[in-house]
Each structure stands twice: as structure tokens, then as C-alpha cells.
Chain A
Amino acid sequence: MSPDRLIYMANQIGTFFRSQGHDKAVPGIADHIKKFWDPRMKRAIFAHLDAGGVGLEPNVREALTSLKPTTSLPAAP
């Protein structure tokens, strides 16, 4: 899916957790994306992360980096 939209959504999640400080925010963001994003969205944002992750807020980037290795997604059809 369009990375722009996903980047925007991920950063929006990051913004909510911002006030809780880095140590709570990073796992908070990762958990939220893990719980609510469908596999194609996760695949797309991980692909964007691998491609440099331009536009991702630092906490979000860190959250996605931590989430990726623990996520086993079915291959894209």
C-alpha cells in the first residue's frame, strides 16, 4: 500500500505515545502496529523501513525495527 499513507499513520501513532517518553513509546508503538495492522500493511511499512525509512519519526523507526524480526508474515501472493 502507498507508503506515504502508512508513514503518516505510523507517525500519528508515534505522536500519541510521545508524551510517555522514549522508553514507553517505542514498545507502545510496536505493540499497536502489531495488533492492528494487516499483513500487507506491515509488509509495506517494513519494506519502506528497509529502503531507508524516509519520513518515519525516530521512535516509530525504532519501534518498527524492533517489531520486524519478531513478525513472521505470510509471503505476498
Chain B
Amino acid sequence: MSLIEEIDFGTPRAKSNTMVTLTIDGKQISVPEGTSVMRAAMESGHQIPKLCATDMVDAFGSCRLCVVEIEGRAGTPASCTTPVLPGLVVHTQTDRLKKLRKGVMELYISDHPLDCLTCGANGDCELQDMAGAVGLRDVRYGYEGENHVFAKSNGEVNAAWMPKDESNPYFTYDPSKCIVCSRCVRACEEVQGTFALTISGRGFDSRVSPGMSESFLGSECVSCGACVQACPTATLTEKSVIEIGQPEHSVVTTCAYCGVGCAFKAEMRGEEVVRMVPYKDGKANRGHSCVKGRFAWGYTNHRERILNPMIRERIEDPWREVSWDEAFSFAADRMRGIQKKYGRDAIGGITSSRCTNEETYLVQKLIRAGFGNNNVDTCARVCHSPTGYGLSTTFGTSAGTQDFDSVEDTDVVVVIGANPASAHPVFASRLKKRLRQGAKLIVIDPRRTEMVELPHVKALHLPLMPGTNVAVMTALAHVIVTEGLANEAFVRERCDWNEFEEWAAFVAQANNSPEATAILTGVDPKDLREAARLYATGGNGAIYYGLGVTEHSQGSTTVIAIANLAMATGNIGRPGVGVNPLRGQNNVQGSCDMGSFPHELPGYRHISGDAVRDQFEALWNVKLNPEPGLRIPNMFDAAVEGTFMGIYVQGEDILQSDPNTKHVVAALSAMECVIVHDLFLNETANYAHVFLPGSSFLEKDGTFTNAERRIQRVRKVMTPKNGLADWEVTIGLAKAMGFEMSYSHPSEIMDEIAALTPTFAGVSYAKLDELGSVQWPCNEKAPEGTPVMHIDGFVRGKGKFVLTEYVATDERTGPRYPLLLTTGRILSQYNVGAQTRRTENVVWHAEDRLEIHPHDAEQRGVRDGDWVRLKSRAGETTLRAEITDRVAPGVVYTTFHHPDTQANVITTDYSDWATNCPEYKVTAVQISPSNGPSDWQKAYDAQARHSRRIAPAEAAE
């Protein structure tokens, strides 16, 4: 194994279909029009020396190292900024060029330290490489003059020298090593779109400056790492590289955080990760990353990670470390005992959207075939289950319709109930790039999110009241229909015309107009009309949405309303358009595909279908139960009732992530066997009897499927620290329960999935290794996968319009609970925080805060930073207030990353009518000043501490 070297072509790929032929160093080469001479040379195999150019950002032409000679032209143009032309004859190496380059390098090195041997970039420094490439042997200028290198110059303090900035926990900025190539500044602008960096000063005073000469941590920097990746010297270097040294081999794998599914090179030294570097051939991220995937992998070695299986009789007892076999047989005996006592349907399990497709498939197989019931569900229940219902009803499949590349062809972007800048940052960067090129943006969100305040982008923001999505979506449809903006030709060809007419008549009713609904939604009718016109007539319109759509009593209805809008305007079935659910976790799409829902087998086929069941029964050699099983909220209800008594939870913290914590506590406490399979003693484990240690994504093979349906490999780079990969743990538990599953490698599990699931028929590890990734459906009809869905017609045949009547949620504000709480995420933390809280990411977000409008705060005597009590009908907690007008009066907002805040003590049992997806996004609350933690928080903390005790191992005789 060796380090995967990616070729840097110097300038980005040109998109033109017109080819241009030229001659470089005597070789003819054809490249797309718009390609730079530098890139053309690299493609023909000749590397022109360069420093300020890299193919992630546009050419800049500042270092003058990449000069070439072109026959018939005067001077020595920079090859990075010179586009190819037909018939050009280029020379990349002549006596004149050699002399010029050596002169340039000599100047660079005259203001650069010569500590190469002890430098963090030793072995990975482009400046060093270029000095070698141009044959620099001498620096005639000496180091006595003005410089940025030494703290003292000629005995005096050197005002031009700046100390290292080590404020960022993951990388250092050493200004003495900077050559002011601007690659970091341009990466921050062009790739990430944050504009945190600039060059301050002019000429010899030029410096890279985060914000207005702030520290990196104190600036607007979001720590995505694009600047570090772009830096050709040791100026910006990962602290892990400085500490460990250069990696010696690398393996391409997939990030285990959000649904974007970034491809990374895990750069290794032995079994130690040196750094994670985004992989340019990764089709989801195209070489970009965010602070989580790039840097926040330290949790895999965190001291709190549990590496041995543990059991206990009662949750009041301390944990006892045991062998795997003892843990499996203890768990199996309990689960079988429960079935004997309470019936076959009294146990179930939850698959994890953080685990691989193969692992998820095995858990649902264990439950359906081993437990003998269909009580399997997954965290998608609490996030995107309404997407599944809404899109399969209207289009025939729950899948998002596009790939991420599609955004490059979009003219109007509608973002609803999502904040990609925080929750899907790498997709957000790609989206922002398109917006800066001129695409229009509509944001429908109660809060003025980061998406509304993007640099150089003006968003049309519709700040609706939480819970009124359906009213707003139907009002948009009202405008489109009544103003004659619907795409009738598309609808006649692709959809059921009668259903469309019925729908059009419904939305056209006066009570659905923006003016009539404004009183509920709070949205200015003028803005709403403008948004509708823009989406319907502005070119390719694409809708991206998140949990602000789904996590409502009417979540499924809103998804249907979105699908209706896309069909009515013809925005389906080609690049640049579509309906795009932004999935939360890395493998939400995959866990749904793998049959994690209680009513359907892998491939979204209902369990009641005899033919489908026959197929699985034949291969699994068991009889399957034709009745759907319990969904997560139903499991809790049944547990409290006493008919659901045992659960196997893989990689999911239901206690922290599910609504109405008190109800979840009651349910878990009622159960006789709770098996938690995780990296850490999470909150759910406080109520568990068996703890099976999990393995991280670095320690196993498998696949994840991202939000654009892209199936990508997860590759093992180290031995599981707990001894077994998660798929092996499930097999062990199954075996102890008398259900044998034998696989020697996850690829064999994928082969079984492909054999049983038509949309996966063409997927194999061999194909993934060959193509890098495929998007399902991948089968005979689409052997290389399907980037865009519904191209020639909808999966279900005709697109189906469904009426979407707005019905207010039963969670109402009133005199006792006058404010509406809505919840969301922040960039540096991930969901329940089990991973990110165990990394340095806590420097950005150490606690959840309550955002409250100055007006509401003033009325309650709350000042910025004060502790406040947040109370709903379900419960109460305390946290500190942040006063901001990002939220409207009457609305408060918080994140849910920290267990000591327990935002879900507040959220209620209300849920989506179709899928029971909880209504996290609307809770009526009251705020009052507070002195500190609530009684609930104190009691919870005491129980958690008590429950996490591990009995000391007995000394060997």
C-alpha cells in the first residue's frame, strides 16, 4: 500500500464540448476549450513549475513560476492564466524560462526559513519541490535584510515577523512560512464560500489575515480545512501532521457524519490516522470537506470509548465486563425469555443510520427472521420518514431525485426548513458557488439562517411561523395556478390530468391565497407571490429541504405539497431541477433502502406482499410474518403498556434523540432487556442491561448511501479496537439466539442484498472499486447507476397530485405557553453529539443556547447569557439565553447536541399523521429567568452517573 497521490492539474477542468488542439513541447494534445496551457501541459504529462495555482481554485497568475514561451508571442506568459488556442506551439522549458524561474525561486527563498528538516511540511512541501524542480542552489541575497522570518533582526525586534496562530484546535498558521500565494484566501472564497480570509497590506507588507487581523478561531473561519489543503507550504498545517509526521499510506473511505457522504483519503502511518484529506474524485464532495469530516475523528480514540462487552442484572447495578460469548448468551437468554413470557412480538430492534448498509441489513434480517416479527425501525422514523411516504405517494419512490452535481445547472434554488450551511456544509459550499454565479435563492424558514445571510447572495426570505409549512406551500401553488404559471405540457404528458385538475381547483380556492393565509403564516403575501413567480418561471427550479419540513404533524403533507409544486412547474426529470431531501445522517438513505422500516423489506417492498416474502423466505430459510411491526414511538407506547419488553439498539441514542424524554425513560425503564450497541455509554445505555461495544467507521468494511443515493465504500484502515466489527457483533448475537448467519466479509452481505433487491441488482464491491461509487437504482437498465430520477416518466407511471389541506397542529400557544420553540443544528456539532462532543469541536459550541428575540427577552427580564427556564407541557429544562433577531418575536430556537440540556424533555408526543415522525419543530413554551439546572436535570444527571459505573475487574488469583 502507498500514499494515493492525486494529480494537481493547476487549474479547474473546463466544461466545454469544443476541443482545441495545440502542441506542447513537441507533443500534440486536444483539450476542451477554456483549458489553461498549464492544465493542458499536465494532461500531456509535462508538469510546469507552479506555486500559486492549484486545480481547486481559479487561476490567479501571481507567482510567475509557471511562465512559458509561445511561438509567435512576445514575452513569457503565465501558463495558468493563458487559455489554449488552436495551433499554439508552447515550450515549457527553455534557457530563458529556466533563468526566470530560478530568479523567482531565489527571491521566494530569500524570505523563507531554511528549517526544512524540522518543518511540519517536510516531505510534503511544494516550495521545497519547486526549489528542487528549478535547480535552485544558491540564494545570493542573504537573510540580513527586511524579512518575515526572524523574530529579531540585527538585534532589534522585527516588526514584520508574526508569531504562530495556534488558536484553531486542528491546524496552525505560521506566518513566517507564508509565500502569499493567496491559495488559502481563494479556497476560502471559491471552494468554501465563507470569505473569512483576505490579504491585508500591499507589496512586502502583504499578509494572510483571518478577518480584520483576528485569530483563526476568533474570525469567521468555519475550519473546513480548504485553506490547509490548498497551502503549498507549512504555513497552514494540520496539528496532527506536526505531531506525528507525514503519512506513509492512504485508503479512500467515506465520512461517517452527515448525508453528504464526502469521500476522504484516510492518510495513515501504520494503524494510526495522521489526517483525513478530502478526495477530489469523490463525486459528492469533489475534494471539499467540513470541520467534522476533516478534523473531528478524534472520538474514535476517546478515553470514554468502551471496548469490552458489559452486562448487568438491573440498571441500578454497576456494569460488569464480560467476554463476548457471555454477553451474547446473556442477551440471547433474556430476549428469548421475554418472547416465551410475553409472546413473539414482545421484542424488536432499531437499526442505525450511522452504520453501514450491510450492518443495517443484518439487523433487520435478525429481527425479521431471527426474532420472527417485524418490530424493526430506524432513526429515519424521527427525521425523513415523511419523505418516504410523501415522495412514494406522488412519484412512486421515496428517493431524492438528483445528484449534487445537479446544483450546477440550477437557476432558482428553494431551501425549505433546512440550513445546509450548518447541517450539510459541503453541499452548501457547492450551492453557494452556484448562487454567486447568479442563481436565485428563496429561503423558507422561521429563522434568518446562515443561508439567508450569505456573502454576495441576496436571498428572498419567507420567515414563516413554525408549523405553517403546508399553508405556505399551498399558497405558492395557489399563485402558480391562478396566475397561469403551471407547466401544462409537462403535466399532461407526465401526470394524471384529472388529479391535476382537482388539485388545481383546490389550491385555487380563495382561502389558500397568500393574502388569506398570511394571518396564519406571517409571510408577506407580496414576497410569497414573488417567490412563486420566480420558482415557476426562473428557469431550472430545484427544491432542497430538510427536517424543518418533515418533523411536523403535517410533515408528510408538506412533502406531498413540495412534490405537487415540482410537478406543476415541470421541475422534475433533468439536471438542475428536482426535489431533494437533505438527509441527516451518513446512511439514512441506506438504512431505509435496507428494509429498516417495520412495514417493508429491503427495496421498499411491503411486507404483506406474498411474492416478495416468498423470495426472502426461500433465501433466509424461515417463515416471515406478513404483518407490519411497531414503529419507534409505537414501541415506546407498547413498552409502557407492557407488551414490548426487549430491544436491540444499534448505534442510536433514542433517549436523547427522541421526543418527550420522560416518556422514553418510562418506556426503557419498563423493558426487561435493553441491548445497546454503541461506541460510548450513551444516554440510552443508562437504561440498558447489555452493552455491546461498537466499531468506528475506520475499523470496518462496508458501504454508506448518501442523500443523493450514492453508494460508496467504507474501508477498514485499522483493526477494530473492540475486537469485532459491528456486522460481526450482530452475527454473534443472532447465533446465540439460534439464528445462524454466515458471512466472511461484508461484500458477501452486499451480494445477498443485490440478489434480493432489484434496485441494487447491479451493485457489488468489484463495481464500487472500479467506478468509485454508483447511485441506485443500479441494475440491468442502469448498470452504472442513476444520477437523475424520473427522466422519461415517473417511477409510479403517472405523477400523482394529492390535495394538501392545511391543518394546524394541536400543539398550540396560549397564555401559559405563549412562545413557539423550534430546534436545529450547528455546524461544529453532529446530532446528539456523541461523536463531536468528544472532539475539539466543543471550542465552537460547548453548550446549547436558547435564541430569543430582544422583544421577548425584554418582556421577561432576560439578558444575554442569562440562565433561563424553558418549560413546555411535556417538561422543563434550563439553558443560557442568546438574544438575537435571527428569530422572529414569538419564536425561540435551540440546538439539541448536549445531553445536559436535554432539549427533548421539552418536545411533545405529537407526530406526523402518516408516519409518526415526531413534531420536533413546534413546541409551545414559556421562558422565565432561572438560577440553574431544573430538578429534572439534577435527577437525570444523578441517575446517569450512577448508571455508568463499571465494577472494577476482580484480581486474578
Question: Nearest Cβ in chain A — how far from B805, in angstroms?
Answer: 4
Closest to A71 in B: B627
Chain A residues, Cβ within 8 Å of B758 = none
Would A35 and B914 be within 8 Å (CB), given that A19-B803, A20-B803 are in contact? no
User: Of residues 642 to 681 in B, which have CB atoms within 8 Å of A's CB atoms?
Assistant: 643
Q: Indicate if the CB atoms of B914 and A40 lie closer than 8 Å.
A: no
Bits for A5-25, please: 1 = Cβ < 8 Å to B, else 0: 100010011011011100000
Chain A residues, Cβ within 8 Å of B346 = 77
Q: Indicate if the CB atoms of B913 and A36 lie closer than 8 Å.
A: no
Complex: A20 Cα to B634 Cα, angstroms:
27
Closest to A44 in B: B641
User: Of residues 24 to 65 in A, which have CB atoms within 8 Å of B's CB atoms?
Assistant: 32, 35-41
Q: Is B606 an interface residue when CB atoms closer than 8 A count as contact?
A: yes
Closest to A12 in B: B913
Q: Indicate if the CB atoms of A39 and B803 lie closer than 8 Å.
A: no
Q: Indicate if the CB atoms of B643 and A40 lie closer than 8 Å.
A: yes
Complex: A15 Cα to B375 Cα, angstroms:
27
Closest to B916 in A: A9
Q: Indicate if the CB atoms of A13 and B805 lie closer than 8 Å.
A: no
Q: Indicate if the CB atoms of B628 and A38 lie closer than 8 Å.
A: yes
Q: Indicate if the CB atoms of A38 and B803 lie closer than 8 Å.
A: no
User: Which has the most chain A C-beta neighbours within 10 Å: B344, B627, B630, B915?
Assistant: B627
Kindly identify which residue among A9, A18, A32, A36 contacts B805, using a CB–CB cutoff of 8 Å: A18
Bits for B723-766, please: 1 = Cβ < 8 Å to A, else 0: 00000000000000000000000000000000000000000000
Q: Is B940 an interface residue when CB atoms closer than 8 A count as contact?
A: no
Complex: A19 Cα to B343 Cα, angstroms:
40
Q: Indicate if the CB atoms of B599 and A35 lie closer than 8 Å.
A: yes
Number of A-B contacts (CB under 8 A): 68
Would A36 and B599 be within 8 Å (CB), given that A12-B553, A16-B557, A77-B346 are in contact? yes
Would A2 and B637 be within 8 Å (CB), given that A36-B628, A39-B627 are in contact? yes
Would A13 and B913 be within 8 Å (CB), given that A20-B803, A73-B627 are in contact? yes
Complex: A13 Cα to B481 Cα, angstroms:
27
Question: Nearest Cβ in chain A — how far from B684, in angstroms?
Answer: 22
Closest to B554 in A: A16
Q: Is B20 an interface residue when CB atoms closer than 8 A count as contact?
A: no
User: Which has the most chain A C-beta neighbours within 10 Å: B556, B637, B804?
Assistant: B637
Q: Indicate if the CB atoms of A15 and B637 lie closer than 8 Å.
A: no
Question: Nearest Cβ in chain B — how far from A46, in angstroms?
Answer: 14
List 21 A-B residue pairs with CB atoms under 8 Å apart, sorted by A's residue number. A1-B638, A1-B641, A1-B643, A5-B637, A9-B913, A13-B913, A16-B554, A16-B556, A16-B807, A35-B599, A35-B628, A36-B631, A36-B914, A37-B628, A38-B374, A38-B598, A38-B634, A41-B630, A73-B627, A77-B345, A77-B346
Chain B residues, Cβ within 8 Å of A73 = 627
Q: Indicate if the CB atoms of A32 and B343 lie closer than 8 Å.
A: no
Q: Is B620 an interface residue when CB atoms closer than 8 A count as contact?
A: no
User: Which has the most chain B C-beta neighbours within 10 Å: A1, A19, A38, A77?
Assistant: A38
User: Of residues 912 to 935 in B, which have CB atoms within 8 Å of A's CB atoms?
Assistant: 913-916
Q: Indicate if the CB atoms of B914 and A32 lie closer than 8 Å.
A: yes
Complex: A13 Cα to B342 Cα, angstroms:
30
Kindly identify which residue among A1, A2, A16 contacts B914, using a CB–CB cutoff of 8 Å: A16
Question: Nearest Cβ in chain B — how far from A38, in angstroms?
Answer: 5
Question: Nearest Cβ in chain B — how far from A45, in angstroms?
Answer: 12
Bits for B236-269, please: 1 = Cβ < 8 Å to A, else 0: 0000000000000000000000000000000000
Question: Nearest Cβ in chain A — how far from B884, in angstroms?
Answer: 34
Question: Nearest Cβ in chain A — how far from B778, in angstroms?
Answer: 27
Bits for B533-564, please: 1 = Cβ < 8 Å to A, else 0: 00000000000000000000110110000000
Give the size range of B's interface with the partner. 35 or more
Given pairs A5-B909, A38-B345, 8 additional interface contacts (CB within 8 A): A9-B916, A15-B807, A16-B554, A16-B807, A36-B914, A37-B628, A38-B631, A40-B643
Would A38 and B913 be within 8 Å (CB), given that A5-B637, A77-B344 are in contact? no
Q: Indicate if the CB atoms of A39 and B916 lie closer than 8 Å.
A: no
Bits for B779-817, please: 1 = Cβ < 8 Å to A, else 0: 000000000000000000000000111010000000000
Complex: A13 Cα to B389 Cα, angstroms:
13
Complex: A32 Cα to B392 Cα, angstroms:
13
Q: Is B629 an interface residue when CB atoms closer than 8 A count as contact?
A: yes
Q: Indicate if the CB atoms of A39 and B634 lie closer than 8 Å.
A: no
Question: Nearest Cβ in chain A — how far from B456, in angstroms?
Answer: 42
Question: Nearest Cβ in chain A — how far from B470, in angstroms?
Answer: 10
Q: Indicate if the CB atoms of B629 and A38 lie closer than 8 Å.
A: yes
Q: Indicate if the CB atoms of B638 and A35 lie closer than 8 Å.
A: no
Chain A residues, Cβ within 8 Å of B556 = 16
Complex: A35 Cα to B916 Cα, angstroms:
14
Q: Indicate if the CB atoms of A40 and B345 lie closer than 8 Å.
A: yes
Complex: A76 Cα to B344 Cα, angstroms:
10
Q: Is B506 an interface residue when CB atoms closer than 8 A count as contact?
A: yes
Question: Nearest Cβ in chain B — how far from A75, in angstroms?
Answer: 10
Complex: A58 Cα to B608 Cα, angstroms:
27
Complex: A15 Cα to B553 Cα, angstroms:
11
Chain A residues, Cβ within 8 Å of B638 = 1, 40
User: Which has the most chain B C-beta neighbours within 10 Å: A5, A12, A20, A41?
Assistant: A12
Would A2 and B641 be within 8 Å (CB), given that A16-B913, A36-B628, A37-B628 are in contact? yes
Question: Nearest Cβ in chain B — how far from A25, in angstroms?
Answer: 11
Question: Nearest Cβ in chain A — how far from B933, in angstroms?
Answer: 31
Bits for B607-618, please: 1 = Cβ < 8 Å to A, else 0: 010000000000
Bits for B556-587, please: 1 = Cβ < 8 Å to A, else 0: 11000000000000000000000000000000
Chain B residues, Cβ within 8 Å of A76 = 343
Chain A residues, Cβ within 8 Å of B628 = 35-38
Chain A residues, Cβ within 8 Å of B914 = 13, 16, 32, 36
Q: Indicate if the CB atoms of B598 and A19 lie closer than 8 Å.
A: no
Chain A residues, Cβ within 8 Å of B608 = 35
Chain A residues, Cβ within 8 Å of B599 = 35-36
Complex: A35 Cα to B634 Cα, angstroms:
15
Question: Nearest Cβ in chain A — how far from B537, in angstroms?
Answer: 28
Question: Nearest Cβ in chain A — how far from B343, in angstroms?
Answer: 3
Kindly identify which residue among B374, B553, B637, B909 contacts A1, using a CB–CB cutoff of 8 Å: B637
Closest to A76 in B: B343
Closest to A75 in B: B343
Complex: A4 Cα to B953 Cα, angstroms:
49
Chain B residues, Cβ within 8 Å of A32 = 914
Chain A residues, Cβ within 8 Å of B375 = 38
Closest to A37 in B: B628
Question: Nearest Cβ in chain A — how far from B642, in angstroms?
Answer: 10
